């Protein structure tokens, strides 16, 4: 907001308070629950509220394989803390590159069949920094981005100030229409995700890859919600489809299936060295702690052979979907570990989330704008290997009761791919 000379000066506190009031009036204000996920209790945890605590059950964790509490992973982290301390000591350029950082990047490159990898403090930073500097310096580049790409990808695109085109979600025909209309001599970058976090639906990755070849475009794939869970040894959807070599840059995270903290990109040597040398978001920030790098290495090592855990997640996800179908609860049907239950309106979404926690001890965070478009509010259910049949039956029963208490409409929307 700008002001001309002589106008009344802005009351900053009132400005901030008015914005927060508007947010609350729209039902879009977020509150954080204080939850301690104690070791060996998961999916049970302790909620702290007004000086009291009680046991609740978590149904929205991104610690998909429960690696954050794996005994070997925890011991590795402790050992390296005892060896090197708790902090990295600086940026990667200034004393912040340990042997564990180097080993982790080598491991990630091998996981994705790439020549090199680069670790960032978060996958958000990795996306934002990589896309921004990649496109800022390539003259006349055009970006083609899926309509439902993550905020970190969008921020990277905006910060690059490059020309961009938004194609309809998972619509290959619309993508090709835009590619066909573009300057055929201009450099191009196609950006998409392998599994969209709020829908749990896969992208048509093979078809997108073919279009990239046809129109000489670079490809950037966000595999944040698939690494550790899909593909050989948890190497992701691109690897599962056998097209890793066709994807130029893969983004992943250490903080979901691998249960740690940080993000990364994997690509060829030239791209990685370019990002390492030019991206401010990599150059001017402290590196992840060596203990976290070491724990991530151990987690990836374990995850590579954790096929039993991946099969358990698949089985549990099927049980959840079957249960929701049996009681006519609207949800987005897919084949992933993410099951979005649809709720009509942000206030209603917050209301059922609060009811489930307060009356049934079921913790599942409401999801609303700007995380999802207005009118597509949901409870995003994520299933882990630690949830068992008893937990799942109880969860379905609690959803059923909560739906009745709030008199929500039941609709058998079991194929709502149009929303995704």
What gap in Å lies between CA 227 and CA 245, rounded to an integer?
16
- Of 211, 128, 200, 231, nearest to 420 (Cα)? 200
What gap in Å lies between CA 151 and CA 30, rounded to an integer?
17
- Of 159, 120, 119, nearest to 137 (Cα)? 159
> How long is the chain?
420
Tell me whether residue 214 is one of the annotated catalytic residues: no
What gap in Å lies between CA 340 and CA 79, rounded to an integer?
39
Q: 262-290 burial, b if ≥16 CB within 10 A, otherwise e?
A: bbbbbbeeebbebbeeebebbbebebbbb
Cβ atoms 386, 42 nearer than 8 A? yes
- Of 237, 245, 200, 241, nearest to 219 (Cα)? 245
SS3 assignment for 133-166: HHHHCCCCCEEEEECCCCHHHHHHHHHHCCEEEE
Cβ atoms 252, 112 nearer than 8 A? yes
* Tokens at 173, concatenated: 């025909």
* Tokens at 145, concatenated: 């981005």
Q: Which residue has the tokens 């039902």?
A: 27
Catalytic residue among 256, 298, 312, 351: 256
- Of 80, 98, 62, 393, nearest to 255 (Cα)? 62
Cβ atoms 179, 215 nearer than 8 A? yes
> In this structure, is the dihedral angle defined by the CA atoms of residues 39, 234, 116 and 279, taken in order, positive or negative?
negative
Spatial CB neighbours of 180, under 8 Å, sequence gap ≥ 6: none
**Residues catalogued as catalytic:** 256
């Amino acid at each position: 907001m700008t002001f001309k000379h002589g106008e009344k000066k802005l009351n900053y506190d009132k400005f901030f308070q008015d914005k927060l009031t508007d947010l609350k009036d729209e039902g879009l204000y977020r509150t954080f629950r204080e939850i301690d996920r104690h070791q060996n209790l998961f999916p049970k945890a302790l909620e702290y509220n007004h000086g009291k605590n009680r046991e609740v059950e978590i149904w929205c964790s991104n610690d998909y394989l429960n690696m954050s509490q794996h005994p070997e992973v925890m011991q590795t982290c402790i050992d390296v803390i005892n060896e090197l301390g708790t902090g990295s000591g600086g940026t990667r350029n200034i004393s912040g590159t340990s042997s564990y950082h180097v080993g982790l990047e080598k491991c990630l490159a091998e996981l994705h069949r790439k020549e090199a990898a680069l670790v960032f403090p978060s996958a958000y930073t990795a996306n934002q920094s990589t896309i921004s500097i990649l496109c800022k310096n390539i003259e006349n580049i055009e970006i083609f981005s899926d309509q439902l790409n993550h905020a970190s990808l969008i921020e990277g695109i905006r910060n690059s100030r490059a020309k961009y085109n938004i194609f309809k979600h998972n619509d290959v025909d619309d993508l090709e229409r835009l590619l066909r209309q573009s300057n055929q001599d201009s450099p191009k970058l196609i950006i998409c995700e392998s599994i969209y976090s709020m829908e749990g639906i896969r992208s048509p990755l093979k078809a997108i890859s073919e279009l990239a070849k046809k129109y000489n475009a670079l490809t950037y794939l966000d595999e944040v919600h698939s690494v550790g869970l899909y593909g050989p040894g948890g190497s992701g959807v691109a690897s599962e489809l056998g097209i890793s070599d066709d994807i130029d840059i893969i983004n992943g995270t250490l903080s979901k299936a691998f249960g740690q903290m940080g993000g990364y990109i994997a690509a060829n040597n030239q791209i990685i060295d370019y990002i390492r040398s030019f991206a401010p978001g990599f150059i001017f920030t402290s590196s992840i702690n060596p203990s976290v790098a070491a724990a991530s290495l151990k987690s990836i090592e374990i995850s590579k052979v954790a096929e039993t855990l991946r099969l358990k997640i698949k089985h549990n996800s099927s049980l959840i979907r079957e249960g929701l179908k049996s009681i006519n609860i609207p949800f987005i049907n897919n084949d992933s570990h993410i099951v979005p239950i649809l709720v009509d309106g942000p206030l209603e979404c917050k209301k059922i989330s609060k009811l489930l926690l307060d009356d049934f001890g079921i913790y599942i965070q409401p999801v609303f704008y700007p995380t999802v478009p207005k009118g597509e509010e949901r409870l995003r259910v994520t299933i882990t290997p630690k949830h068992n049949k008893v937990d799942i039956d109880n969860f379905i029963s609690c959803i059923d009761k909560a739906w009745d208490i709030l008199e929500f409409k039941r609709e058998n929307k079991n194929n709502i791919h149009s929303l995704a």
